[in-house]
A = this chain, B = another copy of it.
Amino acid sequence: MAAARVRSGGRPTLEEVAARAGVGRGTASRVINGSPRVSDATREAVEAAVAELGYVPNRAARALAGNRTDAIALVVPEPETRFFAEPYFSAIVRGVGAALADTEMQLLLTLVGNDRERRRLAQYLTAHRVDGVLLVAVHADDPLPELLEQLGMPCVISGARHAAEPLPSVDSDNFEGARAAVEHLVSRGRRQVATITGRLEVYGAQRRLDGYRAAVSAAGLAPDERLIAPADFTEEGGAAAMRDLLARRPDLDAVFVASDVMAAGARQVLREADRRIPEDVALVGFDDSVVARHMHPPLTSVRQPIEEMGRRMAQLLLDEIAGRTPGDERPSVVLPTELVVRDSS
């Protein structure tokens, strides 16, 4: 009999498929993996056997023999609650999921909270348990990217950490988004346009501020540092910044806020100060989160194509894994934002 070791239950093995198709294990493997060096007749025979037996390759065996895992990790720094807030996390996951859907790649979700978990992650990666890493919401001073670099582990990050980001990255066009938002305010006749920024160590926040500045000067308005209030992406921070702005420049007639959550805080302060929105003060946020849609009045906001960012990150990573194109520039992608105009401006 051609039959390999007969097994009562369990999943069929490659060996069994090969036996069934009347070919050798190696040949069967070739067919499964789509090698071109197989005759058509053989290919068909093997494919038939696969279908009949309902064969599915054993991942672990593959990983062991092939020294790869067919899995990538999405690493999420857990303290970064901002990232967990809608719309980021789920949208990124969806995008990544979509890009991976017709791939053999698995998506591993890794939350790194404290240092212990951080070390554990390092081990994971060191042990090459994944083929690549998607790093989101990394801080500029996070050692993880360097570690990955050293390990030669393919990696893509969301949001460049600074102008000369060495890693492949995917980002939305923070500068242009902010610029367009402020331009919009100006086009509505606003002249004293203030801004509340995110934490400026975050490159994206800095870029939004740059965009604000560019728009202000393009509009021929007088730049005034008192119109710029730094905050920290939190609602409370936004409120505090708004209070500062109101104290320094009571005559302001518009505020571009670098996140919807901060805008919610600002909105509260404006309400308490009896400034009507948008009559007295126009407000524009950033993120187009659910908060924006449900604010009163609904908040004009800059939408980032987050799901698309997730998709692109995954694609970039897959390319990177398939074989980084060394001659190429670092492949960083910047996606356009969209201004969603609502009643607050």
* A contact set with B: CB distance below 8 Å: 11, 54, 56-64, 69, 74, 78, 84-86, 89-90, 93-94, 97-98, 101, 106-111, 113, 117, 123, 126-129, 264, 289-291, 294-296
Contacts and interface: CB of A to CB of B under 8 A. Distances in A.
A98 B76 CA distance: 13
17 contacts: A11-B128, A54-B126, A56-B127, A58-B64, A59-B60, A59-B129, A60-B60, A60-B61, A60-B63, A78-B97, A86-B86, A89-B89, A97-B111, A98-B111, A106-B108, A107-B108, A290-B290
A57 B108 CA distance: 18
Query: From DSSP, what is the main secondary structure of chain A's interface residues?
Result: mixed
Given A60-B60, A97-B109, A296-B296, 13 more contacts: A54-B126, A56-B127, A58-B64, A59-B69, A60-B64, A84-B90, A86-B290, A93-B111, A101-B111, A107-B108, A289-B290, A291-B294, A294-B295
Q: Top 8 closest A-B pairs, CB basis? A: A60-B63, A86-B86, A296-B296, A97-B111, A56-B127, A60-B64, A84-B90, A109-B109
Contacts of A106: 108
Nearest to A56: B127
Contact of A94 (B56, B78, B107, B117): B78
Contacts of A289: 290
Given A60-B60, A290-B85, A109 B93 contact: yes
A290 B82 CA distance: 13
B108 A109 contact: yes
Contacts of A109: 74, 93, 97, 107-109
B94 A111 contact: yes
Contacts of A296: 295-296
Contacts of A108: 106-109
Contacts of A117: 101
A90 B83 CA distance: 10
Nearest to A88: B90
A27 to B, nearest CB: 22
Contacts of A97: 78, 109, 111
Nearest to A90: B84
A56 B90 contact: no
A84 B106 CA distance: 20
Contacts of A11: 126-128
B127 A58 contact: yes
Contact of A90 (B90, B107, B123, B129): B90
